[in-house]
Structure 1
């Protein structure tokens, strides 16, 4: 899953796509490089990020989705927590909702149920503005599993099909470095629930904290984490560096043929 942030302030690629044309061209290039999904986001959720109103978010993402749809039928995920954006994005061609708030914002659960597209529920402790202020868990893997199971039940009660629910442990969203790496090892526990697991660790601070590398120099760490995620049962890798990650996936899958 290739990340296409149409934002001025995302932690890694904010401001890179200052026009609809640039964003669409980059998205189509990701597809050529092997992306199976495109994840379009119009509001940064990095620690301390400012909120974006619904109209501005719509103005950022809808033209990009429409532009991609003029050239490609690739599955598109809309990265949003707002019900109105979910509705408009799916009507414009998005085929999945990726929500860092796990459908807890006003109207989101009802709209998602009505749209009948796959939903990725992510765990976050706190909000993007506060989430890194001393996050605490009794047992991070068990606590995240409990939260996601609770949100899954809410989805089922709202009429969302069980097979349409994906889990994302939310790396960097209200987690310390140790929490994040515990959750890498914990991917197997998430996968054991039977739900597809989406992971997003690409270029994140959990890499920089270990390697000392700045955001723009975290490719090697991102590839290692993607490989560990696959080994532990992740189904979807949400990444910035598509071509390199596709190579890693091919090597891992070839290795698995001989290892088994």
Structure 2
């Protein structure tokens, strides 16, 4: 079943046509990333990586300074040092929408001042000032479902009704964003695969993507090299490219239009092919 997506995404005056697939390239400035293991932590390598993402067709570049999973503590000042100069450099060099993967309002504020457009918050707006900062900067935000908190292990999550819980959580977070002054085209929803979900739970949420789309906001899916993809097929992190794209394709057919991916070129080609087929049907 294909569901009509929200028509546009607006972030600080930039309008992205969400009737077509939008690919968000991942640009981590973390020394302990689960996927690249810090390969792009050095500033010159980071910028070269972003250049490659843009050339491969990224509509959005998502810059993060702290990984979502457990690891050594990263102070607020260290996160700012990792992220803000990176945002400033990308904004100066490339004509691309910039998302900042942070759950701290202080990092969001500084990043918006440096040229970012979107706050990608996996905490579900755990920082009470986050939405106020986003609204003041006319930024878009990603509301993500998580059961506990970022960087906290959640090995045995239980839900009485998984899909209804996640849909209800994100509907409430979207309402919070609207109440803070953001418009519907500035609110993006993300089911949060692997964040307090088992593999079977993440698969069930992927299959129910259309339920999130029905809420009327742009929907982002982050399937790229995730644990649920690897566990489903018994694949190590470096072996999950094709499966990640296949999972993104399923979400596209269920109405999602934003895709956070490591392999931007592969995702761009696969999703654009699906879009062309759908348009000709």
Please state which band the TM-score falls in when normalised by the shorter chain: over 0.9
Count how many residue pairs are aligned between Structure 1 and Structure 2: 258
* 2:3 alignment counterpart: none
Cα pair 1:145 1:190 within 8 Å, conserved:
yes
Query: 2: CA distance between counterparts of 1:84 and 1:250?
Result: 36
Q: Does 1:19 align with 2:42?
A: yes
Write 1 or 2 for the structure with the bigger share of strand.
2
* 1:170 alignment counterpart: 192
Distance 1:110 1:217, change over 3 A: same
* 1:30 alignment counterpart: 53
**1:152-185 Cα deviation digits (max 9, x unpaired):** 2222222222221110000010001111011111
Structure 2: 5+ residue stretches without partners: 1-23
Query: 2: CA distance between counterparts of 1:97 and 1:176?
Result: 26
The alpha-carbon deviation at position 131 of structure 1 amounts to 4.1
* 2:237 alignment counterpart: 215
Cα pair 1:132 1:176 within 8 Å, conserved:
no
Query: 2: CA distance between counterparts of 1:249 and 1:68?
Result: 25
Cα pair 2:224 2:260 within 8 Å, conserved:
yes
Query: 2: CA distance between counterparts of 1:243 and 1:211?
Result: 23
Q: Does 1:90 align with 2:77?
A: no
Structure 1: 5+ residue stretches without partners: none
* 1:138 alignment counterpart: 160
* 1:155 alignment counterpart: 177
- Equivalent positions of 1:218-237 (< 5 A) are 218-237=240-259
Query: 1: CA distance between counterparts of 2:220 and 2:120?
Result: 10
TM normalised by structure 1 equals 0.95
Q: Does 1:126 align with 2:159?
A: no
Query: 2: CA distance between counterparts of 1:105 and 1:50?
Result: 21
Query: 2: CA distance between counterparts of 1:145 and 1:130?
Result: 22
Cα pair 2:25 2:261 within 8 Å, conserved:
yes
Q: Does 1:40 align with 2:63?
A: yes
**Selected match of 1:184 from 206, 221, 231:** 206
**1:33-71 Cα deviation digits (max 9, x unpaired):** 11111000000002x234421110111111111111222
| Higher RCO structure, 1 or 2 (CA under 8 Å, sep 6+) | 2
226-235 or 154-163: bigger deviation? 154-163
Query: 1: CA distance between counterparts of 2:126 and 2:72?
Result: 19
Query: 2: CA distance between counterparts of 1:21 and 1:62?
Result: 15
The alpha-carbon deviation at position 210 of structure 1 amounts to 1.3
Query: 2: CA distance between counterparts of 1:170 and 1:131?
Result: 14
Q: Say which SS state the counterpart of residue 178 (structure 1) adopts.
A: helix
